[in-house]
Structure 1
Amino acid sequence: MTSPYDIEEIFPDDSVRLPRRQSGNSPQGLTVTLLADYTLRARAWLPSAAIVALLAEAGVSHAGARTTISRLARRGVLEGSRQGRNSSYRLTTAAALNLAAGGRFIVAAGAVDEPWDEQWTLIAFSLPQDEVAQRRELRSRLRWLGCAPLYDGLWISPHDVTDKTRAQLAELAFGAMTVFRARHVDLDTSTGRHPIDAWDTAAIAGHYEAFIRRWRPVLPDIRASRITGLEAVRARTEVMDTYRRMPILDPRLPLRLLPSAWPREPARDLFTAVYDGLAGPAEDHVRAVASRFTTEPLTDVRAHTVADILVGLQGAWESGTESGTESVSQSVSQSVSARGSVAGSKRSKD
């Protein structure tokens, strides 16, 4: 499954060299997290001016917002409509499917500790040193597949290889890859390295703990309905933007290999409480902003819950998938990792 977000946002210091990282959230990444939360289920349209206004509330300049919309449209993430000076945008079917799958991946990762057969998937590859772009793409894809480098050229995962994963690896192998399943043999020596050491578990636990420290104090205000309007949208966007990194940092690593009281489940429960608890007031604010730029009803602008994401957000639009979905999805994931979702209304003003 290809995530809808850029890998460098999660592994900024990885050996994979990707586009220059900006301070704070990128406008495109912010656009995904913000607008997919309220338009994905129905592929709702929003006025382009409403998109700009929502991004402006998050600190994105008008020029920056319009540039973001244009780039996402060029890359196949958005489709637009114009009537005179009025413009609107919505997600393409391919991007919406990609994002719906990505959402399920994010929220399902910490739900349960799946049974583990103690087998590891090992991926060994060898590429010429001058194949820089191929190395980049391969390592980035391996990260998204939940793998980590045990040694240079040897990546591992505790999960079996699905048919879809096998097909993705085949596209990237370039005839220089071997994949196999094996059980770890403990050498009981000071020089032996356990496979779990491919992940920095102390750092991962630190991310979870920081997340819990940040959001646990907010719960009483959410339960008392004291967070509304713009504040609700900002908080809901931030909690999703932060939590979505967790399943890549901790790709369902078996609990038996991790320190006791691993904070994955408490972090997920807290995320659900914040995200769902702010759904109502955040939706009200997004509709209020959008209503300034259109007279069309905004009933399709809806905030979904974690349960909605798990069930599946794709609606009637899924059966109408246009031809070329696979190529668009590939373009989305490679160019912007499908990280943008902006939608637009049928009648709007720039």
Structure 2
Amino acid sequence: MASVALDGIMAGLRREPSRTGSLVVTIFGDAIAPRGGSVWLGTLLAFFRGVAIEDGAVRTAMSRLTADGWLERRRAGRNSFYRLASHGRATFEAATRQIYVPRHPVWDGRLTCLVVSDREAGAALGETGFGQAVPGLWIAPGTPPVPEAASAAIRLEARVDAAARRRLAAEAWPVDRMAASYRRFLDMFAPLRDEIAAGLVLTPSEAFAARILTIHFYRRVILRDPGLPLDLLPEHWPGELARRLSAELYAMVLEPSEAWLDENGLDENGPLPPAGDVLRRRFQEE
């Protein structure tokens, strides 16, 4: 029996512009890097055919990713093999810590407040996780490092009650927009989890597609999340539900998805080496 939910997820994917290159990066980071890091183009084409994306779109995306420094290509005869370049590898290693590891830090209730008027300093603070509560006032939980561009800022520490800090967080970070993104993820993937829990058995090809698409869509949300302490977020934060759903789906499809790679995954030396137990540790509490 086919998965109605998975068909719907793939239909949504095909409606998105510029989806293929981002999906390639997800495949490498989630599935190929743990199995040696290199893969034959034909393996990737087989996956994309399973989600109804044409070979030409995949080849174009691979060329662009290589030109942009994300991938490296090696030819062996008529075959092409790809691996993440140093830029792509470093980027996904940083992303891995956000995707698979519990996000919300322990917090002592202190807020660091920086008063800045320089636009460059404000931009640097925004890139390092600070949020702008009001014009010129940037805040962050705890005592995070301050980027050099903002080293001259006036620095204060504050403690506020639960209601006030949640109001501040809602002003400083796009909390409502993040919550909406998580809810869309839940609406998209919870039916697939429910189908599998009710007894639907995915083929190895479907399981690999379900795994990659779960991480692909979850990655797009989680990497925009500043990872605030739960005390700064609204009650019943949907990000926690999204993380649990991702973990459940990942565990459900991991074994058959790896079976698909065992059957179809090739690098320059033949079948891809096994991933070991690194995959089973993903999403586990530390």
Cα RMSD between the aligned structures? Answer: 3.7
Q: Could you tell me which residue of structure 2 aligns to residue 33 of structure 1?
A: 26
**What is the identity, as a one-letter code, of the residue corresponding to 2:258?**
E
| Structure of higher RCO (CA pairs closer than 8 Å, 6+ residues apart) | 1
**Residues of 2 paired with 1:265 and 1:78: CA distance?**
33
Matched, 1:252 2:227: yes
Q: Describe the superposition over 1:69-93 as per-residue Cα deviations: whole angstroms up to 9, x where unpaired.
A: 2222233322222233222111234
Q: Could you tell me which residue of structure 1 aligns to residue 130 of structure 2?
A: 147
Match of 2:41 among 37, 48, 52: 48
Distance 1:121 1:60, change over 3 A: farther
Q: Could you tell me which residue of structure 1 aligns to residue 108 of structure 2?
A: 116
Match of 1:262 among 225, 234, 237: 237
**What is the identity, as a one-letter code, of the residue corresponding to 2:134?**
Y
Residue 232 of structure 1: CA displacement? 1.6
**Residues of 1 paired with 2:61 and 2:177: CA distance?**
33
Structure 2 gaps of 5+ residues are 1-14
Distance 1:225 1:109, change over 3 A: same
Q: Could you tell me which residue of structure 2 aligns to residue 322 of structure 1?
A: none
Matched, 1:229 2:212: no
Corresponding residue SS for 1:244: helix
Match of 2:189 among 197, 203, 215: 215
**Residues of 2 paired with 1:264 and 1:160: CA distance?**
24
Greater mean deviation of Cα atoms: 269-278 or 297-306: 297-306
Matched-pair contact (CA < 8 Å) for 1:31–1:55: no
Q: Describe the superposition over 1:224-281 as per-residue Cα deviations: whole angstroms up to 9, x where unpaired.
A: 4612233222222222122224434442323233332333333222210111221121
Q: Could you tell me which residue of structure 2 aligns to residue 82 of structure 1?
A: 75
Q: Could you tell me which residue of structure 2 aligns to residue 68 of structure 1?
A: 61
Matched, 1:158 2:133: no
Distance 1:53 1:42, change over 3 A: closer
- Calculate the TM-score normalised by the size of structure 2: 0.74
Task: Give % identity.
Answer: 26
Distance 1:114 1:218, change over 3 A: same
**What is the identity, as a one-letter code, of the residue corresponding to 2:173?**
W
**Residues of 2 paired with 1:296 and 1:183: CA distance?**
59
**Residues of 2 paired with 1:34 and 1:67: CA distance?**
16
Match of 2:249 among 262, 265, 274: 274
Matched-pair contact (CA < 8 Å) for 1:272–1:306: no
Q: Larger helix proportion, structure 1 or 2?
A: 2
**Residues of 2 paired with 1:57 and 1:161: CA distance?**
45
Distance 1:84 1:62, change over 3 A: same
Matched, 1:298 2:281: no
Q: Describe the superposition over 1:293-347 as per-residue Cα deviations: whole angstroms up to 9, x where unpaired.
A: 98812224679536247799xxxxxxxxxxxxxxxxxxxxxxxxxxxxxxxxxxx
Residue 47 of structure 1: CA displacement? 1.2
Residue 30 of structure 1: CA displacement? 0.8
Matched-pair contact (CA < 8 Å) for 1:208–1:267: yes
Matched-pair contact (CA < 8 Å) for 1:104–1:310: no
**Residues of 2 paired with 1:43 and 1:94: CA distance?**
17
